[in-house]
């Protein structure tokens, strides 16, 4: 029987703690992994959970700061966006899992500034979408570099999402480069994609 790693007492819990998330992994290897008594094990787990939550909080805080810095480099008056910036900051603090990148945060700021209702990290079946814009029946995806290597996967994914939501729904993909340069034109860009689709749809029906 091994000693508790923390207090030196008798270890009753032969479990180790996962590197990143605090999830246990099996099998336990005696003398290789740390052992704990029940009481220390609970404390260590609790601390790990707190540290992880704090890590995520700080990571998202820095991500948000980066988002605002990217906006500051652009040809816009940052003070015009103050209300939207504060609203998205508060939302991100409350729901740290709702944004995966600074660019998603930028998109949220622009949508909020334009008073467009949006749901970040929207789940459709097993798919996680960046934003749902219900009023426009649009799923908005913010595409970074990794998209270049996933075109085929994404087109299958888009089809599956539209099949679940309904044919009237549309996936709009916006590149992060665009948000890097002209974030304030995001809404216009989405509208342009929608207009293009309406035009295409109207070309299907003919009277002659």
Interface positions with Zn ion (CB under 5 A): 4, 6-7, 9, 37, 40
Comparing CB distances to Zn ion, the nearer of 9 and 134 is 9
In the complex, minimum distance from the CB of residue 39 to Zn ion, in angstroms, rounded to a whole number: 6
In the complex, minimum distance from the CB of residue 51 to Zn ion, in angstroms, rounded to a whole number: 19
Comparing CB distances to Zn ion, the nearer of 43 and 119 is 43
Question: How far is it, in rounded angstroms, from Cα 92 to Cα 47?
Answer: 23
Comparing CB distances to Zn ion, the nearer of 1 and 205 is 1
In the complex, minimum distance from the CB of residue 11 to Zn ion, in angstroms, rounded to a whole number: 7
Comparing CB distances to Zn ion, the nearer of 4 and 107 is 4
Q: Which residue, among 135, 158, 143, has the nearest Cα to 107 in the 3D structure?
A: 143
In the complex, minimum distance from the CB of residue 4 to Zn ion, in angstroms, rounded to a whole number: 3
Comparing CB distances to Zn ion, the nearer of 36 and 131 is 36
Q: Which residue, among 15, 14, 17, 7, has the nearest Cα to 39 in the 3D structure?
A: 7
Contact yes or no for 34/40 (Cβ under 8 A): no
In the complex, minimum distance from the CB of residue 41 to Zn ion, in angstroms, rounded to a whole number: 7
Chain centre to alpha carbon of residue 76: 25
Give the other-Cβ count within 10 Å of 33's Cβ: 15
Tokens of 160: 């599956």
Q: What is the DSSP string of 157-205?
A: HHHHHHHHH-TT-EEEEEEHHHHHHHGGGHHHHHHHHHHHHHHHHHTT-
């Amino acid at each position: 029987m091994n000693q508790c790693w923390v207090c030196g007492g008798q270890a009753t819990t032969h479990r180790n703690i996962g590197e990143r998330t605090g999830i246990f992994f099996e099998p336990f290897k005696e003398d290789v992994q740390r052992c704990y008594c029940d009481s220390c094990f609970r404390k260590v787990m609790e601390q790990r959970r707190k540290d992880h939550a704090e890590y995520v909080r700080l990571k998202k805080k820095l991500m948000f700061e980066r988002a605002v810095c990217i906006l500051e480099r652009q040809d816009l008056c940052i003070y015009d966006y103050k209300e939207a910036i504060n609203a998205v900051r508060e939302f991100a603090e409350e729901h740290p899992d709702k944004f995966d990148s600074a660019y998603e945060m930028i998109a949220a700021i622009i949508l909020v500034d334009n008073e467009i209702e949006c749901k970040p990290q929207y789940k459709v079946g097993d798919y996680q979408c960046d934003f749902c814009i219900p009023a426009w029946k649009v799923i908005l995806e913010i595409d970074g570099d990794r998209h270049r290597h996933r075109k085929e996967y994404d087109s299958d994914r888009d089809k599956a999402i539209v099949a679940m939501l309904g044919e009237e729904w549309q996936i709009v993909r916006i590149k992060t480069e665009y948000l890097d340069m002209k974030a304030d034109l995001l809404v216009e860009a989405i509208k342009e994609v929608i207009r293009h689709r309406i035009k295409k749809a109207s070309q299907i029906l003919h009277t002659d």
